[in-house]
Amino acid sequence: MEKIFSVPLKGGAMTDVYTSSLSEIAKELSSYPSALAVFDDNSLSSYGERPSVPFISIAPGEERKNWESVDQILSRAMGEGLARDSMFIGIGGGVVLDMTAFAASVYMRGARCILIPTTLLSAVDATLGGKTGIDYGGAKNAVGTFFPAEKVIISTAFLRTLPECEYRSGLGEVLKHALLSPDNDLMKFLLAKRDKVLSRDPEAVSEMIRLSLAVKISYITRDPEERKGIRSSLNLGHTFGHALESLYDYSISHGEGVAWGTVKALRAGEELGVTPSGLAADGIALFREYGFDEDRFSIPEDLLPEYLKAIGKDKKKKGGIVRFVLMEDLGKPVLTPLSDSDIEKAVMRKA
């Protein structure tokens, strides 16, 4: 395995990020004398062999991100006799990784945890920073903890067989990171290597993941527990997007929701005079270059009240007010409350 980042977090916690082959991952699992691997049915299939440690497989899908699934993980851990120094190993997409880390954080008041993403979305979004959680009361990730994994192990081999819709979902987060980047490296890379990225060229995908993670790291290390508003900037597009996902009962992928929401944030910022028109145009054009069409999803007028209600459930409120991430410039996000009228203008506007 090759270490590509060491990410310092609050309280001296550290997450080491590695790239790895599948054979090296299998060797890593076998090195733990007491462990539980958590898959979903898709990631277990892509793993390709029977794990060398006790494991549990959960039915896939956002609807499984709940207390019942966490209880299954904890019950299996207890049945296997895991202790506080045992290792919880999440192998899968964001749902599996979030729940595995959450279960590890509450098992005997905190066990150990490593995360192995098997989707592009989870590789660039769900692995770093220590946020864990489940959906609750109709709100996404409403219950959770901060519990950084000891290791994140990324293998692009998992990404070669991803369905196209899953790969695109991850690209939605990567493109969002390009707008948040404090330098222009990721944006330039995505524009220059579009064809190789879309064809999943292994070298291009590896470099894209590295650049995307570097953006996320630049925010989380300055605000590990999302208290200063810095890390909240990573939620660009999420408030608009999560409400869309909720409105359609999560039949829209997270990455598609984030892509749609980021475009709406650019439009809202432009309308309010926060986002320069050139930046809004360039950002929207980047999403189009990668096949994201904001008009693919819409908010029917009769469902607008329900959409606004979903916005109101956003967990990133401060003082009871939902703040949206808007862009003042490339790499310069700002948290801004929006009125219902501002939200309506953004989401109802057609390209």
For residue 18, the model assigns a pLDDT of 95
The first and second tokens of residue 80, run together, are: 């296997």
Q: Is 207 exposed, middle or buried (0-12, 13-18, 19+ CB in 10 A)?
A: middle
Classified as helix, coil or strand, 192 is helix
Q: Do domains 2-162 and 165-348 have the same CATH topology?
A: no
Tens digit of each residue's pLDDT (9 = 90 or more) over 83-125: 999 999 999 999 999 999 999 999 999 999 999 999 999 999 8
Q: Is 342 exposed, middle or buried (0-12, 13-18, 19+ CB in 10 A)?
A: middle
For residue 303, the model assigns a pLDDT of 92
Beta strand residue intervals within the chain, DSSP E: 2-8, 14-19, 35-40, 55-58, 87-92, 112-117, 134-136, 139-143, 151-154, 323-329, 332-337
CATH architecture of 2-162: 3-Layer(aba) Sandwich (3.40)
For residue 142, the model assigns a pLDDT of 87
Fold for domain 165-348? Dehydroquinate synthase-like, alpha domain (1.20.1090)
For residue 349, the model assigns a pLDDT of 64
For residue 194, the model assigns a pLDDT of 97
CB neighbour list of residue 319: distance below 8 Å, 6 or more residues apart: none
For the chain, the structural domain boundaries read 2-162, 165-348
Kindly give the confidence (pLDDT) of every residue in the chain, 351 residues in length, as a single tens digit, with 9 standing for 90 and above.
999 998 887 777 889 999 999 999 999 999 999 999 999 999 999 888 889 999 999 998 888 999 999 999 999 999 999 999 999 999 999 999 999 999 999 999 999 999 999 999 999 987 888 889 999 887 878 899 989 999 999 999 999 889 999 999 999 999 999 999 988 899 999 999 999 999 999 999 999 999 999 999 999 888 877 777 788 899 999 999 999 998 988 889 889 999 999 999 999 999 999 999 999 999 999 999 999 988 888 898 899 999 999 998 776 676 678 899 999 999 999 999 999 999 999 998 665
Alpha-carbon distance 211 to 207, whole Å? 6
Alpha-carbon distance 108 to 225, whole Å? 22
Q: What is the pTM of this model?
A: 0.89
Pairing mode, strands 151-154 and 139-143 = unpaired
